[in-house]
Amino acid sequence: MKISIIAIGDELLLGNVVDTNTPFMASLIDACGWQLVHSCQVHDDPCDILFAVKDALKRSDIVLTTGGLGPTKDDITKQVLCECFNGKLIFDQSVADNVHRIFAERGLVMNELTETQAMVPDCCKVIQNMTGTAPIMWFEKDNKVLVSMPGVPREMRYTFTNQIVPRIKQLNAEKSGAKPMLHSFFLLEGINESELNMLLQAPNTPQPLNTIHVAYLPQTGYLKIRLDCDDNDTLTQASLQFEQLLGDKIFAGGDQTPAQALIDLLYQNHLTLSTAESCTGGNIAHTITSIPGSSAIYNGSVVSYSNEMKINAINVNPEDINLYGAVSTQVATQMAEGVAQLAKTDCSISTTGIAGPGGATPGKPVGTVCIGIKTPNGTQSATHHFNGNRAEVIERATTRAIILLLRSL
């Protein structure tokens, strides 16, 4: 199944808005085992949109468009699609009812301009937008499909995930009789893509692992791997072989982030977590609390950015700061133990370091971060060095700290 994406809107090409819809769809397309062959951004110009649509239909089985479906004069996608699929705009009562429902739920008053959302091409199948007013439109012509979706990310994500992907799966099965693609995920560290590829292609790598499709999904601070196969027994065997081959380089499994894996592990073991952050400035806390359900295991955080906060809030010994420096394993250890005592948690994470661009001292360059990890089995701290700018150092230190606690449990 070959798919193209067209993101429509002047704001995308002017740099006013970043297109987050295409990456979101691309990840789901890849996860379903389909092939994204082309993506582009076009202005709110009828000639540009028409050219992009016709070009995409030549390349692909399915074309996905986002944007240009609002009620304002620059939203012209519906008119262009009428031209492309030989249709005309007609009033659709079901769309009007859906728009009125949305407005009523939000306590808003309908206006004449918004009511024009109910005008849709007579050559499409309408799919109601459950989270907004712009209807989703499904076109079919010459054994090709075009799906027009709203550009608002919240609406598009719900629509694509819950209403479009299932329909594409059904269409794919009807056309090809192909079995659905199955996946197995692993999170690794300590090995890069090229090293792993060489390992998997080595002569002694067993079957079916040496022939199964492997997707390399590099993330900040770790490598996510996806094994793809349409046969469950083959995938299970290859997954076991992958685990045996990579050993302790695997720190978690499943289609999740390290933070999600950590929360699940803490919950399963009835353990609680707190964090004390200096150089990461609360980013670990943010990463943890961004995940639904984190309140079951996470008690809180102290952003002990200054030495005074380290001393007064979490009982770091001022003599050790003077002797070893704030960026030291001694201080990281005390931060981890201090915040665990304050928050009454079983586990804790601490960070103290130099995110840059300034602050380097002899022996402690920018990117130096000391990370402390406390578990019921004790406290350990170590010094790490991360490359990149300030934001990258913070993000890499955050990821590394979470993985270290995962490995310690």
| CA trace torsion 247, 249, 252, 255 (10° rounding) | -110
CA distance 128 to 97: 10
HSE toward the beta carbon, residue 76, CA cutoff 13 A: 16
Q: Which residue has the tokens 């701290």?
A: 381
Mean pLDDT lowest for which of 170-179, 184-193, 232-241?
170-179
Q: What is the pLDDT of residue 177?
A: 64
pLDDT above 80: residue 180: no
Output the CA–CA distances (angstroms, integers) from residue 68 to 224, 250, 284, 402, in the order listed: 35, 44, 38, 41
pLDDT above 70: residue 172: yes
Q: Band the pLDDT of 178: cuts 50, 70, 90.
A: low
Residue 350, strand partner residues: 276, 372
CA distance 156 to 12: 16
Q: Which amino acid is at 86?
A: N
How many other C-beta atoms can be found within 10 angstroms of the C-beta atom of residue 134?
27
Tokens found for residue 93: 């009562």
Q: What is the pLDDT of residue 16?
A: 92
Residues 78-104 have a mean pLDDT of 93
Mean pLDDT lowest for which of 173-182, 263-272, 316-325?
173-182
The beta strand positions in 294-399, using DSSP E, are 298-303, 347-353, 368-375, 378-385
pLDDT above 90: residue 32: no
DSSP at 162: I
Q: Band the pLDDT of 314: cuts 50, 70, 90.
A: very high
CA distance 61 to 53: 12
pLDDT above 80: residue 179: no
pLDDT above 70: residue 181: yes
Residues 373-401 pLDDT 10s = 999 999 999 999 999 999 999 999 999 99
Q: Which amino acid is at 78?
A: K
pLDDT above 90: residue 174: no
Does the domain at residues 2-176 carry the CATH identifier 3.40.50.2300? no
Q: Which residue has the tokens 């949305």?
A: 102
Sign of the four-CA dihedral 12, 15, 16, 18: positive
CATH architecture for the domain at 182-253: 2-Layer Sandwich (3.30)
pLDDT above 70: residue 341: yes
Task: Delimit the CATH 3.40.980.10 region(s) of the chain.
Answer: 2-176
Tokens found for residue 38: 């082309």
CATH architecture for the domain at 259-408: Alpha-Beta Complex (3.90)
Q: What is the pLDDT of residue 188?
A: 98
Task: Delimit the CATH 3.30.70.2860 region(s) of the chain.
Answer: 182-253
Task: Delimit the CATH 3.90.950.20 region(s) of the chain.
Answer: 259-408
Q: What is the pLDDT of residue 176?
A: 66
Best CA proximity match to 258, nearest among 150, 147, 92, 406: 406
The answer to whether the beta carbons of residues 42 and 7 sit under 8 Å apart is: yes
Residues 102-135 pLDDT 10s = 888 888 888 888 888 899 999 999 999 999 999 9
Q: What is the pLDDT of residue 236?
A: 97
Best CA proximity match to 221, nearest among 303, 269, 284: 284
Best CA proximity match to 228, nearest among 209, 213, 206: 213
